[in-house]
Each structure stands twice: as C-alpha cells, then as structure tokens.
Amino acid sequence: MKPTDLTKLLIRESADIYHAKSRDFLTSHALNEFRRCPLLYRKKELGLVPERDTTAYIVGRAAHTLILEGRQRYEREFAVGGPINPKTGQPFGSQTKAFAEWAAAQNKPVLADAHAALVEHMAASVSAHVFARELFAEGVAEGVVRCEYAGQRCQARIDWINPIDGRGIVDLKTADELDSFELSMRAFGYLHQVAFYRAILAAASGHLLPVHIVAVEKREPFRCGVWQVAPKVLDQAQRENEEAMTDLRRCREGGDWFTRYESLRLVERL
C-alpha cells in the first residue's frame, strides 16, 4: 500500500458506533486510563464509574466537528442558540427554565450562544494559522482503523490523516492556554495517544507516519499552535504503551488491578 492510499483503509462510522465497539477493542483513551491507574480502568470497564459529559467536553467536541468536518455537519449535530425572550428580544439565559425546556426538545447536544461563540473563535484561529491550515487542507476526518496490535484487538478514531508526504497524523486539541501546553502533552498522555495512533496505523498499513498536534485556546486571544512530534519521542511512548499492554494482559489473567501507589514513596528534593 502506498502512503497516499492510507485513507482507503479507514472506516467511516459515527462516534456512537465507535464508542460502542470500545467494549471489544482497546483504545488509546482506555490505555491511557490503564497507564495512570489500572484499578480505575477496571472500574470504568465494569461501568462502576460513569463518564461525565461536561460542558467543556461538549464545547471541545463541537470545535472538533466544525474545524474538521465542516459547518454542515456541525449544524446537523449541535443545536445552537436557544429560545428568545419576547419581553427583551434577547435569548433566555442558559440557566433558565425556558432554555432547559428548549434544550430538552432538541435531541442533540446544545450550545448556548456564548459557547457557540467560543467554537467560532477557535475555528477561525485554526483556519488563520498557516501551518494548521496546510495540515488540514487535504485528508480524512475522524477515520477509524481496527487491527491486531501488540497482541490486542485495537481501534483508533483519528482526528485527521493527511496523505501528503510529511504531514501524516494530525491530532486536534483544545487548551486553556498554550504557554503550558507542552506540559499538558505529557500530563494528559497526548504523546502516548498519538504514538498509539501511529503504531496501529503502521500495523494496519505497513507505513510509519509523521505526527503533528494542533492546539487552540478556549479563551482570548484564542491562539493556535502546531507541534511536530519527534520520532524518538513517539518511539519511547510506543515502548511504554506496549509495556502497559503487557501489564493489562497480566491484570486480566491474574485479577490484580493495582493503583500504582502501593509502594512507599520518598520525597528527595524540594
């Protein structure tokens, strides 16, 4: 398979279908959970810790949809605005009963005007960034790949794959601010996440793609930044992912779902 043919192996399916299949396939999100705390991973797997669908997550998903999949898909998947107060001619506030009743009738996620404005600012910022614009100029959004990797059935839903040489995998993140985003890459497992994407695509296609991360702020001045992840960083994260996958098999076989804090720890420096 040629690098330019990579997009042909991607599966196009809704997020709901993809997430439903997470019960049978290991994902980067689940592996990051396991790397952090095997016990928490197991409790979530058993449904003992429900996922929270907070406003921040909804805004992030809406920004992904608008930036990656376009306005038509965005307007189809999200309700924007709300009912108008006839006395003032302005929308009811998002905390009012009228807004809650309107939102309940939409049958899809709702964005109040203020949150919709955030999404528009983020989309405009990404579009204005020369490197981000180049990365997103061609490719496939939200493509799914499934295959056997490191002895596990795995799946990934990748934000963007640009088949042009030198571009490859592009992961879009929203951030509170960019000044500490490189710390966030490590703290939230973003580097391990994209290393998982790279590895599963390589297992499925035989091609090792470059990786970029695009981040945009969720508040003024809505700065956008683009990072290329060095191959040696991805190699190290891939090794750690594969070590965690070995630990996951051992946990399943032995039933010991540890927390990673069982040992005594020593504070050695201020």
Query: Quick one: angle between helices 231-254 and 28-36, nearest 10?
Result: 70
Domain boundaries defined on the chain: 3-254
User: Do 42 and 257 form a contact (C-beta atoms < 8 A)?
Assistant: yes
CA 170 to CA 188: how far, in whole Å? 17
- Decide: helix, strand or coil at residue 216: strand
- Section 247-264 average pLDDT: 96
User: Do 193 and 29 form a contact (C-beta atoms < 8 A)?
Assistant: yes
Which residue reads 């952090």 in tokens?
Answer: 36
Determine the pLDDT at residue 1.
53
Q: CA quadruple 172, 177, 178, 181: dihedral positive or negative?
A: negative
State phi, psi for 227 to the nearest 5 degrees.
-125, 135
Question: What do you get for the CA distance between the two ends of the chain, in Å?
Answer: 53
pLDDT at 235 over 60: yes
CA distances to 28, 96, 146, 194 from 156, in Å: 7, 39, 7, 10
Strands, E, within 86-222: which ranges? 110-111, 140-149, 152-162, 168-175, 211-217
- Section 123-152 average pLDDT: 96
Cα 175–chain centre separation: 12
- Section 237-260 average pLDDT: 97
Residues 6 or more apart from 123 whose CB is under 8 A from it? 63, 66, 67
Determine the pLDDT at residue 53.
65
Band of pLDDT at residue 249, cut at 50, 70 and 90 = very high
Determine the pLDDT at residue 32.
97
Buried (b) or exposed (e) across 224-237, using 16+ Cβ within 10 A?
A: bbbbebeeeebeeb
Band of pLDDT at residue 262, cut at 50, 70 and 90 = very high
* Residue 26 exposed, middle or buried by CB count within 10 Å (0-12, 13-18, 19+): buried
Q: What is the mean pLDDT of the chain?
A: 92
pLDDT at 161 over 90: yes
Helices (H) and strands (E) counted in the chain, each on its own, are: 11, 7
- Section 100-109 average pLDDT: 83
Determine the pLDDT at residue 2.
59
Residue of higher predicted confidence among 100 and 190: 190
Determine the pLDDT at residue 37.
97
Quick: pLDDT tens for 13-58. 998 999 999 999 999 999 999 999 999 999 999 999 887 767 788 8
Quick: pLDDT tens for 175-194. 999 999 999 999 999 999 99
**Which stretch of DSSP H or E encloses residue 205?**
helix 190-205
Q: Which CATH architecture has domain 3-254?
A: Alpha-Beta Complex (3.90)
Determine the pLDDT at residue 219.
94
Band of pLDDT at residue 101, cut at 50, 70 and 90 = confident
Quick: pLDDT tens for 211-221. 999 999 999 99
Quick: pLDDT tens for 65-77. 999 999 999 999 9
Residue of higher predicted confidence among 81 and 181: 181
Determine the pLDDT at residue 99.
80
- Decide: helix, strand or coil at residue 268: coil
pLDDT at 4 over 70: no
Six-digit token string for 170: 């592009």
